[in-house]
Amino acid sequence: MSDDPLETPRLRAVEAFPVRQDGQQLIALRDPAGYAQTVVLLPPAAVEVVRHFDGRHSLVDIQAELMRRFGELVPRADIERLVAALDEQGFLDSPRFAARRRSVDEAFLAAPTRPAAHAGGAYAADPEALRRSLDAFFADADGPGPVRRDAAPAAPPVAGIIAPHIDFHRGGPAYAWAYRDLGERCPADVFVIFGTCHAGMPDPFALTRKDYETPFGPVRAIGWRRSTSGPTIAACWFARCGPRASRWSTASRGSSAWARA
C-alpha cells in the first residue's frame, strides 16, 4: 500500500447537509471548526465517491466498489481530481491540512485578543447599529421591555441564567428575557460564562486568557490559576470554533474549580 495519504483519502469530521440549487439536489460540506473557509457542494455522483473517503479504501478500492454498485468504471483521474479539490479546500485529513491547521493555530496564539468572529455577520460590527438591534430585542412585542437600570434591585438576586443558543434574528427577544433579569437583579462584576462550541474538542472544556474583542470594545478576561481544592477540569488551550465561534448560552456567578490569580 502506498504511503501517500491521498491514496487512501480520509474526509475530516465535517458537517454534511442537503441543499437544493438550480433544481438539483446536492450535499454541502462545511467545516464547523472553521479551518476550511468554504462550503463545498457535491452532486450525487461525487457523494458516492466521497462516502468511501474513510482512510481505509484506496483509490483502486473505491473504483472497485463503484464498479460493483453501478456497473461502471470511474476513471482514476476523476477520483484524483476530486481528492485534490477537497484537499486544497481543507476537507481531507492530510499533511496539507495539518500545515493549514498549524498556521491557523499559530496565528490565534500570536494574536493579543480573541477576534469578534461574527461581527458584521450574525450581528452588526458598528457599535451604534448593534446597540439599536439589541435594544429592539427588548422592545419587541415578544420581549420583556427595557432594562430598568435605575430600579431598586429585586429579590432574590440572580445567581445565574440559562439563555438560548440560537441565532439572534430568531431568538433575540428570548435572550432579552434572560438578560433583563441579569441587568436588574445581579450586582456582580465578574462572571463565569459557559458557551457551546460548534466543533468537537479532545477535552470537555476549553479556556483562554485572551480578552474578547466586541464592537463595544474588548471584554477583559481575568487571569486564572488552577485551584487545588476543586474538582479536576480537563481543559484544552483553544476551542477554535473558528469563524463560527461560540455564542454564550450560560452565565453564572459564584465559585468554580478555577480561582482568580
| Full pLDDT tens readout for the chain, 261 residues | 567 879 999 999 999 999 999 899 999 999 988 899 899 999 999 999 999 999 999 999 999 999 999 999 999 999 999 999 999 999 999 999 999 999 999 998 899 999 898 899 889 999 999 999 999 999 999 999 998 877 666 668 888 898 888 888 889 999 999 999 888 888 888 888 888 877 767 777 888 888 999 999 999 988 655 544 444 333 333 444 443 333 333 333 333 322 222
Same domain, 78 and 89: yes
Judge if 184 and 76 occupy the same domain. no
Residue 103 and residue 201 in one domain: no
Cα distance between residue 185 and residue 153, in whole Å: 5
Boundary residue ending a domain (71, 90, 109) = 109
Question: Of 78, 109, 140, which marks where a domain is finished?
Answer: 109
Do residue 105 and residue 127 come from a single domain? no
pTM above 0.95, yes or no: no
Amino acid identity, position 153 = P
Cell of 11: 474526509
**Do residues 243 and 36 touch, judged by C-beta distance below 8 A?**
no
Residues 168, 180: one domain? yes
- Which residues have a Cβ under 8 Å from the Cβ of 194 and sit 6 or more positions away? 248, 249, 250, 251, 252
161 with 66, same domain: the answer is: no
- The whole-angstrom separation of Cα 74 and Cα 134 is 54
Side chain identity, residue 19? V
Domain of residue 13: give its range. Answer: 5-109
